[in-house]
A and B are shown apart, each in its own frame.
Chain A
Amino acid sequence: MRVLDFLHSTVVLLRLALLSTVALLKPSTWRLALRNVGRNGRRTAVVLTGVSVGLGGMMLAMAVNYGMIFQMVESAIRTELGHVQVHGPGWEEQPGIEVRLPSDRIPSDLEQRAPGLRAWAPRVRGEGLVYSPRASVGVRVVGIDPAREASVTVLADSMTQGVFLDGERRKVLVGERLADRLKVDVGAKVVLSAQDVSGEMTGEAFRIAGFFRTASRELDESAVFLRLDEARRLFGLGDEVSEVVLVAHAESGSGPLRDWLAAQAPQAEVRTWKEIRPFLVQIIDMFEQTGWVVYAAIFVAMAFGIANVLLMSVMERTREIGILSAIGMPADRLVAMVLAEALVVTLGGVALGAALGFGGTALLSDGIDLSTWGEGLESFGIPTRIVPVLPAHQLGIPIVIAIVTAVVASLWPAIRAVRTRPAEAVRHV
C-alpha cells in the first residue's frame, strides 16, 4: 500500500512537472513572471548579485586553475618534453647512452607524413661531468640540432646571456644555476668528460656560449647543451640519436601522433608526454579535482542563497497565490509562473556573471604574479605568472548548474504553494 501511495504521488508530481513545462511555453506565464520580478527590486537584486558573483567568481576560479594547468603543460612540453618522444627499446627501463636509434630511419619529410606533426628534433643524451677551474658538477649532456631544437622547444628563446648555439664549434650552453655552481661567466672554458659507449673515459674542452633560464629548475641546474655531432664524438657514437622529440599542432594531437609513430617503428619506444611524466598528470588531476571542490562550494552557497530568496518570495505571496488558485488558475500554471520568475532572475544573473567572468579574465590577461611563493611552485613546474584561460569546453557546466539550481530551488516552494489548500492560503494575510 505504501509503495502504491508513493508511486501514485510520484506520478502526480511528474505529471505536474510535465504540465508545468508545457505551461512554461505560454507567453502569459512569462509576462506575469517578469512583472513579479520587477515588483520586488531588492529581492531581485539579491538573487542577481548572488548568481552573478557566484558564477563570475567560479568562472574566474576556473580560468585561473585552467590557465595554471595549461601553462604547466605548455611549459613542460615547450621546455624539453615535447608531445611525443621516440627512443630505442629499453629506454624506459634503463635510459642511457647504451639505448639508441639509428638516425637513417628518420625520413627527412617526416613533417609531411606524420599526422598533426608540427616539428621534431633529434637528441643525444648521456651523463657526464663538467669541470670549471673552481668546481665540478655531474650533468646531463644533451646534444642537439640547434635549428630543429629551436623549432621544438623554447630553449633558443630562453637565453639570458650570450648566444644560442650556432655554427661555431666547441660551444656549450649551461643554465644560470649551473653557471652559479661552476662560478663561470659566458666565454669561460670548461671541460666536459664522459664515459663513451665502449666504456672509455673521454673529455673535451668547450667554451660557454651562453646561459639559459627555463621554467624547469632541474634543467637549469644540471643540463649542458652542445651540438649533436660533438655529442656523438664525445660518446663515440656513429650516425645515431638517443631520442626524437616531436610536437604536434595541438596537445590533443599527441595520442594520434604516438599511434602513427608506433605503427611505423614497432621496435621503438614511442610515448606521449603523459606517459613520460605521470607525475605531471597527477598534479594536473589534483588541480582539476581541487578546482571542482572549489566550484562545488561556490555553488552550494549560491544554491542556498537562491533557494532561500525564492522560498521567501513564494511564502510572502501565499495569499496572492491562494487567490490565483481560487479564481481557477491551474496548478501547472502556478508552478510555471514561479519557475519562470526563478529563471528570469537566474538567467539575468547568468548573463551578468558571464560578463564578470569574461571581463575579469580579460582584465587579468597580463597574468597574476605568484613569484612571492615562486621557489616552491617552480620546483613543481608551476609557472609563477598565471594567465587565466577560460576553458571553453567547460563553460557550459557552471551555467547549466546555475539554471538547474534555480529550477530545483524554486520547484520546492512552487509545489508547496500549489499544495496549500486555497482556503488556507486565502485566510493568510
Chain B
Amino acid sequence: MLEATDVTKVYDTRGVETRALDGVSLRVDAGEFTALAGPSGSGKTTLLNLFGALDAPTAGQLRLDDQQLDQLSSAQLARLRLQQLGFIFQAYNLIPVLSARENVEFVMELQGVPAAERRERALAVLHEVGLGEIADKRPLEMSGGQQQRVAVARAIVSNPRVVLADEPTANLDSKTAAALLDLMEEMNREHGVTFLFSTHDPMVIEKARRVVRLRDGRVVSDEQREAESA
C-alpha cells in the first residue's frame, strides 16, 4: 500500500550536504502496526515526511496505492493528505483556538462533511479515545497526554489509509506513553487503522508488531513479531 523504492534524501543547508536517507526501500501494508526505530538523526522524521507528502525525495519513488507522489501537484498532494492520510506529530499538533471537538471536526469540515454528521462523528471518536468529557476544552487546558489523544482522534476520524505518527510519545511520561500506544493498538486491532510510527523508546518498540530499524539513513533491520495481545 505505502511504498518507498530506493529513496534518497539529501539536505543542502548553505552548501553543507546531509544525506538523511540513503537508498531506503520499504513497503507498509494495510493493517500493519509498525514502528520505525532508530537513534536520533537516523532519518525517521525524514522518511515519515516523504511518506506523508510533506516533502519530496532527492531520488527514488514513493507511492500510496497506485498514486505516485512525485506526479501529483501540490493541490493534489494537499487533497491526498486530507483524504487518505492521518498525521500525529511529537507535540503541538492541535489548533490552539479550537476545542478538542472542533479540532477533530476541522478535518471533516475541510472534507466537506455536513455539520451534523461532523459533530456526531467527532464526539463518537473522542469518546472512543476516552475524552468524551473534555470535548469542549481547548488544547491549553489539556494535559500533554490528552492533547496527543485528541491528535489520534483527529488522525483516525476520517478513516485514512494510514496514520503516520512521528515520535507521538516523545513528550509524554512513560505511563501516559504506554496508554497512548495501547490506544493506537486498540484502534489498529478493532478498526483496522494502519499505523506507521517512529520512536527511539524501547518500551514503545516493544508494542509494535513489526519493527524497521534505521541507522544513518539506511534500513538496518526489519523484523516481524508476534502480536503481543490477542
Check B78–A328 contact: CB distance below 8 A: yes
Check B54–A426 contact: CB distance below 8 A: yes
Check A329–B110 contact: CB distance below 8 A: yes
Neighbour of B55 across the interface among A28, A32, A421, CB < 8 A = A421
| Docked complex: A90-143 residues within 8 A CB-CB of B | none
| Docked complex: A298-342 residues within 8 A CB-CB of B | 319-320, 323-331, 333
CA distance A39 to B92 in the complex (A): 16
B10 vs chain A, min Cβ distance (A): 14
CA distance A324 to B89 in the complex (A): 12
CA distance A323 to B154 in the complex (A): 12
Check B75–A330 contact: CB distance below 8 A: yes
Check B55–A328 contact: CB distance below 8 A: no
Tell me the count of chain A residues lying within 8 A, CB to CB, of chain B: 25
| Docked complex: B69-107 residues within 8 A CB-CB of A | 74-75, 78-83, 85, 87, 89, 92-93, 95-98, 106-107
In the complex formed, the residue of B with least CB distance to A334 is B78
Contact (A422, B82) CB under 8 Å given A324-B95, A326-B87, A331-B75: no
Neighbour of B78 across the interface among A319, A323, A330, CB < 8 A = A330
CA distance A139 to B107 in the complex (A): 87
Residues of B near A421 (CB, < 8 A) are 54-55
Neighbour of B96 across the interface among A39, A326, A328, CB < 8 A = A39
Question: Cβ of A79 < 8 Å from any Cβ of B?
Answer: no
Check A426–B89 contact: CB distance below 8 A: yes
CA distance A28 to B98 in the complex (A): 12
Question: Cβ of B52 < 8 Å from any Cβ of A?
Answer: yes
CA distance A134 to B28 in the complex (A): 116
In the complex formed, the residue of A with least CB distance to B79 is A328
Contact (A327, B55) CB under 8 Å given A32-B98, A39-B97: no
In the complex formed, the residue of B with least CB distance to A330 is B78
Residues of B near A320 (CB, < 8 A) are 92, 95-96
| Interface size band for B | 20 to 34
Residues of B near A423 (CB, < 8 A) are 49, 54-55
B210 vs chain A, min Cβ distance (A): 24
Residues of B near A426 (CB, < 8 A) are 49, 54, 89
Contact (A323, B97) CB under 8 Å given A330-B75, A331-B74: no
CA distance A327 to B156 in the complex (A): 11
Residues of B near A39 (CB, < 8 A) are 96-97
Contact pattern, B 175-215, Cβ under 8 Å of A = 1, otherwise 0: 00000000000000000000000000000000000000000
Contact (A327, B97) CB under 8 Å given A421-B54, A422-B55: no
Residues of B near A36 (CB, < 8 A) are 97
Neighbour of A328 across the interface among B82, B89, B92, B93, CB < 8 A = B82
Question: Cβ of B6 < 8 Å from any Cβ of A?
Answer: no
CA distance A140 to B19 in the complex (A): 96
CA distance A423 to B69 in the complex (A): 15
In the complex formed, the residue of A with least CB distance to B92 is A319
Question: Cβ of B136 < 8 Å from any Cβ of A?
Answer: no
CA distance A325 to B85 in the complex (A): 12
Check A329–B96 contact: CB distance below 8 A: no
Check B89–A323 contact: CB distance below 8 A: yes
Given pairs A327-B154, A328-B110, A422-B54, 19 additional interface contacts (CB within 8 A):
A38-B97, A39-B96, A320-B95, A320-B96, A323-B89, A323-B92, A323-B93, A326-B52, A327-B106, A327-B110, A328-B78, A328-B79, A328-B107, A331-B74, A331-B78, A421-B55, A423-B54, A426-B54, A429-B92
Top 6 A-B pairs, shortest CB-CB distance: A328-B82, A423-B55, A35-B97, A423-B54, A422-B54, A328-B81
Interface residues of A (CB under 8 A from B): 28, 32, 35-36, 38-39, 319-320, 323-331, 333, 421-424, 426-427, 429
The 22 sampled A-B contact pairs (Cβ below 8 Å) are A32-B97, A319-B92, A323-B95, A326-B54, A327-B81, A327-B106, A328-B78, A328-B79, A328-B80, A328-B82, A328-B83, A328-B107, A328-B110, A329-B110, A330-B78, A330-B79, A330-B82, A421-B54, A422-B55, A423-B54, A426-B54, A427-B45
Interface residues of B (CB under 8 A from A): 45, 49, 52, 54-55, 74-75, 78-83, 85, 87, 89, 92-93, 95-98, 106-107, 109-110, 154
